[in-house]
């Protein structure tokens, strides 16, 4: 009887160790939770939103990414420029490589602003003294353009600093779902 109890205990311990190991692997290599801290991604994301970060793949234009910022803090912003892109804002319109892009995630704020543009005019040359986003880096901006510390202030973000992209809010329940 004692051997059977010992064997059952060992089986439970193995199952627990495997579960903990799998959770660690998933969290470290595949997915991780993050809490939005601040208002820089309003109205898309709100302070305190809890999201899942996917660590799979490379970021694409307009993805929302989480990255290690120079202040030893993680930031959450939207990818505007990819390596080799020429970025410019003119008359509250984004131009990438000379082509105008619509940013529907900004419509709500643009409709509320009456005292000038949501995004002030700039070129990449004004910000980082280069014509294009450097290889292996991205240019990011918060959706709350007037109150976001982003690539306009900290420069471009190296790929190795990017933790992953995020599209899914899981808390609060009323906001649960995919974000654009």
Tally the C-alpha atoms within 13 A of residue 79's C-alpha that lie toward its C-beta. 25
Q: Which fold has domain 33-178?
A: Umud Fragment, subunit A (2.10.109)
Give the model's confidence band at 113: pLDDT under 50 very low, under 70 low, under 90 confident, else very high. Answer: confident
151 is catalytic: no
Asked if 118 and 109 count as a contact pair (C-beta separation under 8 A), the reply is yes
State yes or no: pLDDT of 166 exceeds 60.
Answer: yes
148 is catalytic: no
Burial 17-43 (b: 16+ CB within 10 A, else e): eeeeeeeeeeeeeeebebebebebbbe
Among candidate residues 40, 54, 148, 151, the one labeled active-site is 40
State yes or no: pLDDT of 1 exceeds 60.
Answer: no
State yes or no: pLDDT of 60 exceeds 80.
Answer: yes
Give the model's confidence band at 2: pLDDT under 50 very low, under 70 low, under 90 confident, else very high. Answer: low
- Eight-class DSSP state of 41: T
Q: How far is CA 141 from each of CA 8, 47, 130, 148, rounded to the nearest angstrom?
A: 54, 16, 17, 7
State yes or no: pLDDT of 28 exceeds 70.
Answer: no
The neighbour count for residue 144, using CB atoms within 10 Å, is 19
Which string of DSSP letters, residue by residue, matches 45-84? S-TT-EEEEE-SS---TT-EEEEEETTTEEEEEEEEE-TT
- 3 state DSSP class of 123: strand
Among candidate residues 4, 14, 73, 77, the one labeled active-site is 77
DSSP E strands in 130-161: the ranges are 137-141, 157-158
Report the share of the chain in percent with pLDDT over 90.
Answer: 65
pLDDT value of position 90: 96
pTM over 0.75, yes/no? yes
pLDDT value of position 22: 77
Say how far apart CA 144 and CA 76 lie, in whole Å: 12
H/E stretch holding 109: helix 107-112
Domain ranges of the chain: 33-178
Give the model's confidence band at 27: pLDDT under 50 very low, under 70 low, under 90 confident, else very high. Answer: low
């Amino acid at each position: 009887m004692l051997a059977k109890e010992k064997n059952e205990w060992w089986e439970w311990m193995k199952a627990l160790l495997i579960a903990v190991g799998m959770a660690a692997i998933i969290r470290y290599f595949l997915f991780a939770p993050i809490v939005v801290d601040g208002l820089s991604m309003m109205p898309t994301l709100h302070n305190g939103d809890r999201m899942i970060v996917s660590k799979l793949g490379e970021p694409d234009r307009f993805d929302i990414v989480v990255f290690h910022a120079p202040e030893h803090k993680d930031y959450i912003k939207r990818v505007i420029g990819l390596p080799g892109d020429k970025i410019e804002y003119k008359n509250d319109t984004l131009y990438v490589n000379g082509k105008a892009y619509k940013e529907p995630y900004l419509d709500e704020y643009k409709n509320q602003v009456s005292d000038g543009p949501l995004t002030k005019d700039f070129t990449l040359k004004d910000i980082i003294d280069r014509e294009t986003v450097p290889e292996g880096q991205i240019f990011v901006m918060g959706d709350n353009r007037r109150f976001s510390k982003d690539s306009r202030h900290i420069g471009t973000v190296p790929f190795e600093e990017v933790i992953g992209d995020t599209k899914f809010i899981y808390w609060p329940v009323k906001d649960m779902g995919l974000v654009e």
